[in-house]
Structure 1
Amino acid sequence: MSRTEDVADKTIVIAGASSGFGRGAAIELARRGAQVVVAARRGLVLDELVAEIAAAGGTVLAVPTDVSDPDAVSALAESALQRFGRIDVWVNNVGIGAIGMFWDIPIEAHARVVDVNLKGLIYGAHVAVRHFRSQGAGVLVNVGSIDSEVPLAYQASYAATKAAVLSLSRTLNEELRLVGDHDRIKVGTIMPWAVDTPWWTHAANYSGHTARMAVMDDPQIVVDAIVAACTDPKEEQPVGPKARTANLSHHLFPGLTERLSAKTADAESKKGDELPPTAGSIFEPVAAGTTVDGGIRARMKEEDDSAR
């Protein structure tokens, strides 16, 4: 059976679909014949995504949603069920960031990261797993990060929430095993390296410099991983050679790996252009950043060239 046939006619909910690999996964899954429900805060951007998918012959429903609101997440599920009658896969692609030294970031920004990245993901997981148990089957895909395994300087609360994402996925799989549902309901965690998406533009930033990270990955490899996880989820899935290497290194040499990652993050941050403090889009959506690729690698090259 081809992967196209695997997702054809399945109803797949994707949170965080207005940009980045959430948007890329929505486009690709619709192309493969899935019925896609796209959710994000920016309703107008979702309308543009719907038009793009529909023009290519795909089936899509947009539901503007702030995942930090449990009632909104419940309404997202209800809208999907009213339109398509079932939910086969729920992709918890939620993630905002606050960049800078922990003590320089306002506590309100840290709290917002927890509200979205952890509580918002829990709301989606709760709705999805309850539905899957009632329905008898389903796949939950939680998008974590290599930060789920390797904590990263300048991203303390983000790394903490992404570690919690992996822990939640592991626990859910064990609880499903205890009640005998583990063969019918699967939970997987996607763990990318730093990826060139608008996330870096949308993040709150109190580091004093533009956001960047060494050797960023192209978002397509994460899009491909999310698509594959819809039918073959892995409890712990580092994406790409750099993420797999970092994951293995941290298991073997945790202290050394953490010190090296911290030095890398620090060196990269100091290469960025000066930037005044900004809350980015973590509290309120912004118009910028609606594509899959974030243009961060191109901007980093310009910064590096100008520094020579």
Structure 2
Amino acid sequence: MRFLVLLVALLGAACTPAPRESDRAWVAGRTWVVTGASSGIGRGVAERAGSLGANVVLTARRAEALEDVARTIRASGGEALVVPLDVGNPDYAETLATAAERRFGRVDVWLNIAGIIPIGRFEEVPTEEHRRTIEVNLGGVMLGTHAALRRFRAQGFGTLLNMASVEGRIPLAYHASYAATKAGIIGLDGALREELRLNGLADRVRIVTILPWAVDTPIWANAGNRTGREARGPLPDDARDVADAIVWAALHQPSGEFPVGPKAAGAVLGSQIAPGLANRIAADMMQRIQIEGAPPAPPTSGNLFAPSPAPPTVDGGMRERWRRDNSAP
């Protein structure tokens, strides 16, 4: 186990792809729709695309946080439209797409990034939290995908990026409904890519499935948590690095799955070579990090049903807290 942790840490030191200034020509003036844009990876993607001159349509539940993202984008040379919505609502996607078209004329890139997570033994997490996770993580992605693809087919081009996870390939213990939604996104995207191929659109409409490793974002502070311990992710990656890689993928990655960074790529490879072993190793790691190693914390529904008061930042501060209390795994 110690060898595995060391190997993963060394792989994580390698760089992930990032957009360059030369990519501005492919971004400036084009319209990017970003869900979950108030914090975490979504905010990082929105700000990076805006810095390259994109028109960025921002949605999440916290209007004030979205306005702050919009100010950052405008200050860096992009344009921004704030449309506060809950992606768990059935009409959100059409409302968002219509607002984007009215302001900017069309949608070029659509990124379904919004997500929530409940943590705990499956039977100890309330069923309404499992249902809400499915509504947001999978239902919200399906609605956004439906709205985006209808427009991409009509205009003959477009790029769709859906946020899955390495957990869609290696489901983690204590993350059951979250892992289920991420596996669902992988299946959804795989089926849709074949539909595009059969309809002669595979060269003009791309669907990229994003598979990050755990990322240091506010999702952990916002998690629904029934473990009795502080929510933690295993060896999380830097949120800005992951956001930059996703922007790069929107510009350069062919249709298909995109593991973000060496840790994610190694995990996906492991799931293909020895899936049973990979699942056991991942479960043992979560037992040690989440159940045995994290400090006590009270039960909470986090931000599953209402926006969290946690700061709407890109970085979650988890790695810094570990360094400060010398409790990093």
Please indicate, yes or no, whether the TM-score normalized by the shorter chain is above 0.5: yes
Range that drifts further, 39-48 or 297-306: 297-306
Secondary structure of 1:140 counterpart: strand
Cα shift at 1:303: 4.4
Q: In 1, distance between residues paired with 2:135 and 2:323?
A: 34
Instruction: Identify the match of residue 247 of structure 1 among 268, 271, 275.
Output: 268
Matched, 1:168 2:188: yes
Q: Which residue identity does 2:269 align to in structure 1?
A: L
Runs ≥4 residues deviating over 4 A = none
Q: What's the counterpart of residue 227 of structure 2?
A: 207
Cα shift at 1:306: 11
Cα shift at 1:85: 0.3
Cα shift at 1:230: 1.7
Q: What's the counterpart of residue 37 of structure 1?
A: 57
Instruction: Identify the match of residue 281 of structure 1 among 300, 303, 322.
Output: 303
Secondary structure of 2:281 counterpart: helix
Instruction: Identify the match of residue 125 of structure 1 among 113, 128, 145.
Output: 145
The alignment-based identity, stated in percent, is: 46
Aligned residues: 307
Q: Any idea what the Cα deviations from partners look like across 1:229-287, whole Å, max 9, x if unmatched?
A: 22233411111111111110110000000000000001001211111110001100022
Cα shift at 1:305: 4.7
Say whether the 8 Å CA contact 1:196–1:297 is kept in structure 2.
yes
Q: In 2, distance between residues paired with 1:46 and 1:213?
A: 25
Secondary structure of 1:230 counterpart: helix
Unaligned 5+ residue runs, structure 1? none
Matched, 1:101 2:121: yes
TM value normalised by structure 1: 0.96
Q: In 2, distance between residues paired with 1:203 and 1:306?
A: 19
Say whether the 8 Å CA contact 1:7–1:230 is kept in structure 2.
no
Cα shift at 1:32: 0.6
Q: Any idea what the Cα deviations from partners look like across 1:29-87, whole Å, max 9, x if unmatched?
A: 01111111111011111111112222223211110011111212211100000000000
Instruction: Identify the match of residue 22 of structure 1 among 15, 33, 42.
Output: 42
1:224-263 map, 5 Å:
224-233=244-253, 234-263=255-284
Q: Any idea what the Cα deviations from partners look like across 1:131-168, whole Å, max 9, x if unmatched?
A: 10011110000011111111111100000100111111
1:124-163 map, 5 Å:
124-163=144-183
Q: In 2, distance between residues paired with 1:232 and 1:62?
A: 27
Q: What's the counterpart of residue 79 of structure 1?
A: 99
